[in-house]
Amino acid sequence: MMIKRIFISIAFILLSTVAILVFAQHDAVDAAEIGSDKIDASLLDLVSTGISADFIMQFNNQADLSDAYSMDWDERGEFVYNTLRETANRSQVNAKAILDTRGLAYKSFFAGNELYVWFGNLAKTNEPMVLNELAALPEVSTIRAPRTYHIDPIIGVKPWENISWAGDLLANHLITTVGSSVEATIDWGISDTKANQFWTTFGVKGDGIVVANIDTGVQWNHPALDQSFKCGTNPSDPS
């Protein structure tokens, strides 16, 4: 009778242990799946193959800076700086703890409440991916790979650069002022903003408006300015 009781007790302990292990494994799988929709698909595919990749974590909580509008300039700057840092520190504390445990390097960017993480990859065998562990945090909004943006250089076509006298202007059918017919002498900035189309369509070229300038590079006595410059006859004269 005693042997039977011992056998039943041992069997019960073994079954309990197996049940605990099954539930623990199930919880680990659930933890790995929670928040996976926050991870950029291309990043998840990359690290799932075992390739290390940097990633950026964005957090839900963003600093409330609305009170800054009612402050003077100096007070506003300090308020914005401190509020952004405090919000980031508070939001990122759990994620930083996970990254520290995994030995992953990171840098905090408090302006947008983001963490840049270097070389994130799969965790140890039979453990959830570190990306999923981070994504499971409720304060995490998204996790994505860094993005690189390329800006194609704009080459300005300036056919007048080799013009040495007025006859060359006529020979090359160039103009020196903007009239009703806008030709290739217009620089790329004018074309990009479509100012030339505005001039042609509405016949308005800015005549009569006052342009403010705080630069030191204005030639105040240029024939185009000397009759309407607002700083007197000689703005360079301190008297």
Which among 185, 112, 173 has a CA at the least distance from the CA of 144? 112
d(CA 142, CA 57): 6
Measure the CA–CA gap between 84 and 177, rounded to whole angstroms: 50
Q: Where are the domains of the chain?
A: 21-144, 151-239
Helix (H, G, I), strand (E, B), or coil: what is residue 7?
helix
The pLDDT assigned to 182 comes to: 44
| pLDDT tens, position by position, 22-37 | 444 444 344 445 557 8
Sheet-wide strand order for 106-109 = 106-109, 114-120, 53-59, 140-144
Contact between 230 and 214 (Cβ < 8 Å) = no
Give the DSSP per-residue string, 93-145.
HHHHHHHHHHT--EEEETTTTEEEEEEE---STTS--HHHHHHTSTTEEEEE-
Check residue 35 and give its pLDDT: 58
Give which of 110, 122, 107 is closest to 56, Cα–Cα. 107
pLDDT of 239 reads: 53
| 27, 129 Cβ separation under 8 angstroms | no
Quote the pLDDT of residue 4: 57
Residue 162: the pLDDT is 61
Within 10 angstroms of residue 134's Cβ, the number of other Cβ atoms is 25
Give the distance from CA 185 to its chain's centroid. 36
- Per residue of the chain (239 residues), what is the pLDDT tens digit? 566 566 566 655 655 554 454 444 444 344 445 557 888 888 877 777 777 788 999 999 999 999 999 998 889 999 999 999 999 999 999 999 999 988 888 999 999 999 999 876 554 433 447 888 899 999 999 999 888 888 877 665 565 566 555 555 555 555 545 444 444 566 777 888 888 888 888 888 877 777 777 666 777 777 777 777 776 666 666 55
- C-beta separation of 115 from 92 below 8 A: yes
pTM for the predicted model, two decimal places: 0.51
